[in-house]
Amino acid sequence: MRWPGHVAAGSSSDQLICLTDLFATTSDITGVASPAGSAEDSVSFLPALSGAEIVTTRAGVIHHSVTGHFAYRQGKWKLLLAKGSAGWTGPKENELPEDAPKAQLYDMENDPGETTNLYESHPEVAQRLLTQLEADIFNGRSTEGPPAQNDIDGIKLWKSGK
C-alpha cells in the first residue's frame, strides 16, 4: 500500500487481515461511522499501516470460495472445508481419490505454498478451527458484539464436491 506520510516505504506486516476489513479501516480513516448492523466481521487495520498491532476480538477470519466452500484462518493455521482447490484451479474434488481427506489444514507460517495437508495429522487443530467457524456463523459475526442474523437459513459448512 502506498500512502505517503502514513505508511513507511518498503514496510510490511504479517498481521491477519481480509477484504472485509476495508470497511472498518475506511471508517477509521474518514471518521465516518459504519451504519449499525453492517460490516460485523470488519476490523480496522489502520494501526498496522503505521507498524502497530491490530487490536481485535476476532478469533479468526472466515473465507468463502467461489464454489461455496468455507475456509477459516486463525494465527498460522488455515482450514479449508474441501478436498480440492475450492476454486477455479485444480485439483477439483472429483479429480481426487475417494479416500482423500475431506478437508485441508495448512501451517501458513511454515508452508505458505500449501504443499503439505496436515488435516489428518493435526485433528485437534482442525477441530478447534471448525468449532470457532461454527460459533462465528451461529453468532452471525466474528467480532465482539450482539449476535447478528445471517442473511440465509441453513448454512452448510460442508458442500458436496459433485
Tens digits of per-residue pLDDT, 18-49?
Answer: 999 999 999 999 999 989 888 999 999 999 99
Kindly report, residue by residue over 86-105, the tens digit of the pLDDT: 766 667 777 777 888 889 99
| pLDDT reported for residue 13 | 87
156 located within any domain: no
Same domain, 70 and 120: yes
The chain-wide mean pLDDT, for the chain, equals 88
Q: What is the pTM of this model?
A: 0.84
Same domain, 112 and 47: no
Same domain, 43 and 107: no
Same domain, 45 and 67: no
- The domain of 68 spans 61-139
| pLDDT reported for residue 88 | 67
What does residue 71 show for φ and ψ, rounded to 5 degrees?
Answer: -140, 160
Same domain, 71 and 125: yes
Question: Which CATH number fits the domain that encloses residue 120?
Answer: 3.30.1120.10
Same domain, 66 and 125: yes
Percent helix, strand and coil across the chain, each to the nearest 5: 20, 10, 70
Structural domain tally of the chain? 2
Same domain, 69 and 92: yes
Question: Which residues contact residue 83 at a Cβ distance below 8 angstroms, ignoring those fewer than 6 apart?
Answer: 93, 96, 100, 101, 102, 103, 104, 161
Task: Answer for the pair 69, 159: CB distance below 8 angstroms, yes or no.
Answer: yes
117 located within any domain: yes
